[in-house]
């Protein structure tokens, strides 16, 4: 079974600064995906960024980037130039490279961006 761990229940950052959210996972599989989802107060689940395990290059999406360390089973999210709208719960998630496989979520990190 796969597990995902987020060891930072809460984090805060000043507007325009950079913050990094941590995530580690455990699996015996070699082919999988990793995701970061954002859940604002509206409770909607929004995909932020994804990474295929077979790709060595770290994924980036505008202000969001990841540091994927496959050997260490680590998948951190960096948010640059933080904005007030980034305030949300952030979930790291794991998914096997199999059609229809489940997403396994971490416990989440509540990020607050302060003005």
Partner 1 sequence: EPEVTQTPSHQVTQMGQEVILRCVPISNHLYFYWYRQILGQKVEFLVSFYNNEISEKSEIFDDQFSVERPDGSNFTLKIRSTKLEDSAMYFCASSEEAVYNSPLHFGNGTRLTVT
Residue with smaller CB distance to partner 1, 38 or 113: 38
User: At closest approach, how far in Å is the CB of 105 from partner 1?
Assistant: 4
Residue with smaller CB distance to partner 1, 2 or 87: 2
- Return the sign of the alpha-carbon dihedral for residues 12, 51, 26, 102: positive
- Where do contacts with partner 1 occur on this chain (CB under 8 A)? 33, 35, 37, 42-47, 50, 52, 91, 97-108
User: At closest approach, how far in Å is the CB of 109 from partner 1?
Assistant: 11
First-last CA distance in the chain: 41
Q: Which helix (H) or strand (E) holds 26?
A: strand 24-26
Residue with smaller CB distance to partner 1, 17 or 102: 102
Residue with smaller CB distance to partner 1, 85 or 100: 100
Using an 8 Å Cβ cutoff, are 87 and 112 in contact? yes
User: At closest approach, how far in Å is the CB of 46 from partner 1?
Assistant: 8
**DSSP SS3 for 84:** helix
User: At closest approach, how far in Å is the CB of 112 from partner 1?
Assistant: 16
Furthest C-alpha separation in the chain: 42
What's the token pair of residue 45? 């689940």
């Amino acid at each position: 079974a796969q597990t995902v761990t987020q060891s930072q229940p809460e984090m805060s950052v000043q507007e325009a600064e950079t913050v990094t959210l941590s995530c580690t996972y455990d699996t015996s599989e070699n082919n999988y995906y990793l995701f970061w989802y954002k859940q604002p107060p509206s409770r909607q689940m929004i995909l932020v960024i994804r990474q295929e395990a077979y790709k060595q290059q770290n994924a980036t999406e505008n202000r969001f980037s990841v540091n994927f360390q496959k050997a260490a089973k680590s998948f951190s999210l960096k948010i640059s130039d933080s904005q007030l709208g980034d305030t949300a719960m952030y979930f790291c998630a794991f998914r096997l490279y199999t059609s229809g496989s489940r997403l396994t979520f971490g416990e989440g990190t509540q990020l607050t961006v302060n003005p």
